[in-house]
Structure 1
Amino acid sequence: MPRFMGFVRMEENVGMPPKVLFDAMDEYIGKQTAKGAFLDGGGLFGSEDAVNFISRKGEVSRVDGPYAEAKEVVGGWAITQYDSLEEAIAEQQEFAELHAKYWPEVTVISTMRQISDGPEVPEA
């Protein structure tokens, strides 16, 4: 069964989502969990204590947050599984529509990507 990773991106420092969105998300995630689609997920704190390790030209450097240049941050994530890509897309749209309905003043980007069951090895 294909698995997917979903990300929710938004501008940083927009405040906490309204309680009504939390309530709607609890109901949505409960339904997804009951049918075996929601595997794991959660929200993330802001980038003020984030740490990046950058590998460039054979060297590794550490960059601590917050990141003034960041336009948006990942605010949450989920790992799900569905019988088909079409079902996953439909559910991701429903998830996005909850944000549009209950937090319309904030631009939220809901991204879904299929998880590789690899290893896919490049051809030589």
Structure 2
Amino acid sequence: MPRFMGFVRMEEGIAAPPQALMDAMDTYIGEQAGKGVFLDGGGLYGTEDAVNFVVRAGETSRVDGPYAESKEVVGGWSILQYDTLEEAVAGQEEFAELHAKYWPECHMVATLRQISDAPPEAADA
């Protein structure tokens, strides 16, 4: 059964979501967990304590948050399991529509990506 990762990207530092959205998400996620679709997930803290390791030209450097140049950050994630890609897309759209309905002033992007179960192939293979 294919697994997917959902991301929620939004502006950092905006007001907290309204309680109505949190209640609707609790209900929706509870229903999805009951069906075996929602496997794990949660919200993320802001980037004030984030740590990035940047690899460039064979060198690794550490960059600590917050990141003034960031306009959008990943604010939440989920691991989902559906029978088909079409069901996964429909589920992610339902999740996005909760935000449109209960937090219309929020600008967010709900992204869905399928999780690969195979190791990546080497470029020189």
**Which range, TM-score by smaller chain?**
over 0.9
The aligned residue for residue 119 of structure 1 is: 119
Amino acid at match of 2:8: V
Amino acid at match of 2:18: P
The aligned residue for residue 17 of structure 1 is: 17
Say how many residue pairs are matched. Answer: 124
Identity, % of aligned positions: 71
User: How far apart are residue 122 of structure 1 and its match?
Assistant: 4.5
For residues 13-50 of structure 1, the C-alpha deviation after alignment (integer angstroms, 9 at most, x for no partner) is 11210111000000000010000000000000111111
Residue pairs, 1:61-80, within 5 angstroms? 61-80=61-80
Structure 1 stretches of 4+ with a deviation exceeding 3 A read none
For residues 68-100 of structure 1, the C-alpha deviation after alignment (integer angstroms, 9 at most, x for no partner) is 100100000000000000000000000000000
Unaligned runs of 5+ in 2: none
TM-score by length of 2: 0.96
TM-score by length of 1: 0.97
User: 1:8, 1:47 → 2: CA distance?
Assistant: 14
- Over the aligned positions, Cα root-mean-square deviation in angstroms equals 1.0
User: 1:2, 1:25 → 2: CA distance?
Assistant: 23
Amino acid at match of 2:47: S
User: 1:56, 1:10 → 2: CA distance?
Assistant: 26
